[in-house]
Amino acid sequence: MGIVINQSFKNTLVLFLGFAIGGINVLFLFTHFLHEDYYGLITFLLSSANIIMPLMVLGMQNTVIKFFSSYTTKAEQDKLLSASLLLPLLVIIPVSIVGLVSYNAIAGWLASENAIIKPYAYLIVVVSLFMGYFEIFYAFTKVHLQSVAGNILKEVFVRICTTGLLFAVYLEWLTQSQFIYAVVIVYGIRMVLMMRIAFRLCKPELSFGFPNNTKEVISYSLFIVLAGSASIILLDIDKFIIPKLKEIANVAYYAVGIYIAQVVAIPSRAMQQIINPLTAKEINADNVNGVAALYRKSSISLLVAGGLMFLLINCNIFDLYRIINRPEYTAGTLVVLLISISELTKLAIGNNGAILINSRFYKFFFYISIAMTISVILLDIWFINAYAINGAALATLLVVLVFSGIKIYYVYRKLNIQPFNKQTFVMLLVIMGLFLVFYFLKWPFNPWINIFIKSVLITVLYLFITYKLQISMEINQLFLKFLKR
């Protein structure tokens, strides 16, 4: 677990930097420099690209992580890596042809409620390709347990570039329309940089042959591409459906709320870069005890780290919206609470998803992902019509709660392991108690002062209680190591 904590700590610092830059973009620059319709448009385009990305590259980024450590020769590893680059062309070429032939019909459907979308609809496919191949090259580095450089490109590079582009709009160096195209170019540059890093670390000898277990690899890829699409749909389908039912400006309000709430997911996103390949390695070695240890430790470590993030954003949310100073964006206040609860739930189940994806139970992950997708789409249509963007957040929360329970039960039935212990429930009580104390506490000071005072009090109390109760030995050791520096 030491390498997990070490790389996760570095990735967490990168993620915090990325979220800080992104926070400035989302909370201040987008909301003040870009018209709500264009903010909603870029959010819609990127979310739509993210939804189809696994299909465009056949989910090969997951296939690389799943099978790489099972091969003992470089020749077999090269065949896998080559296949991950070439097989997506079987989808990319026909999809591109269909898109060109049917562009007007497809773009017209996407823009049925918001005409601003139509001229930019083709960018969805372009960005999805840039995203997909970036993830494949990133997977090359993950299997070598070198995830930090890719994480910097993923979490920091795009956001820094976006900051510069937003200021270019403000200074009238770019029009808002040109801004959309410039963001797409940034994603292309990011892909090229990731390719250079990956090839320096492990450039494969291009091979048109297939690994010995080709049938298993293809079967896994076909299942996981749909499961991966379904998992991403859970995150981004709201931003796709909202402009079909409401004005596109609502996507901007929702995007701000979602961004704030996803601060809770920072620890998970940091740890997953390294724990997923380690989980695959333990499963390939048939080491159930090793999987169980990763399961328990990842669960409690993520809950502790995510719990602090949950408290900091929700207990300061009213002051944060005062700082944004755009009254229409406060429509996302409840979105923040609902989505952050769903993110905390996902943290609490640890590397459950990695266990399912990388084990012989990956088909179950496919089925449950499809069920989650159907559920969230149906609930979205119902709830968005009734409760607007709050309905979208409620739909996501309900689906996450129900299906997280199902996934925990399934892994327990199959492997007789589960992520929780006494400390889990103690930690939940600590989070709930501090939330009830600080959420309703409002001071008549400047919002910056309120946030600073609350954050210091919450952080000190939280860390003190967590340390004294010895909730997570790994985090306690990391805390002591940090103090010694």
- List CB contacts of 246: < 8 A, sequence separation 6 or more: 384, 388, 389
pLDDT at 485: 59
Distance CA 9, CA 151 (A): 12
pLDDT at 315: 94
Cβ–Cβ < 8 Å for 313, 444: no
70: its two tokens: 């099972």
Number of CB atoms found within 10 A of residue 104's CB = 10
Range of the domain at 279: 2-484
pLDDT at 296: 86
Could you tell me the CA-to-CA distances from 47 to 35, 87, 129, 163, 180 in Å, in that order?
18, 24, 13, 19, 14
| H-run or E-run covering 370 | helix 362-415
What's the total number of domains in the chain? 1
323-358 tens-digit pLDDT: 888 888 888 889 999 999 999 999 898 888 888 877
Nearest partner of 209 among 81, 395, 22, 19, judged by Cα: 81
Distance CA 169, CA 417 (A): 53
* Torsion of Cα atoms, 379 then 384 then 387 then 389, to 10°: 110
Read off the amino acid at residue 167: F
Burial class (CB in 10 A: 0-12, 13-18, 19+), 448: exposed
Reading the chain (485 residues) residue by residue, the pLDDT tens digits are: 455 555 556 666 777 788 889 888 888 888 888 888 888 888 888 888 888 888 887 777 777 777 776 666 777 777 777 777 777 888 788 888 887 767 677 666 666 566 777 888 888 889 999 998 898 888 878 777 677 788 889 889 999 999 999 999 999 999 999 999 999 999 999 999 998 988 887 776 776 666 666 777 777 777 766 666 666 676 677 777 887 777 878 888 888 888 889 888 877 766 766 777 778 778 878 888 888 888 888 888 889 989 999 999 999 999 998 888 888 888 888 999 999 999 999 989 888 888 887 778 877 887 888 888 889 889 988 998 888 889 989 999 999 999 999 999 998 998 888 888 888 899 999 999 999 999 988 888 889 999 999 999 999 999 888 888 877 776 677 666 666 65
Cβ–Cβ < 8 Å for 395, 340: no
pLDDT at 218: 74
**pTM, full prediction:** 0.75
Distance CA 26, CA 18 (A): 12
Burial class (CB in 10 A: 0-12, 13-18, 19+), 440: exposed
pLDDT at 398: 94
Task: Specify the DSSP class assigned to residue 350.
Answer: T
148: its two tokens: 């930090």
Place of tokens 């499963």: 283
Rounded to the nearest integer, the mean pLDDT of the chain is: 82
CA angle 405, 410, 414 (to 5 degrees): 155
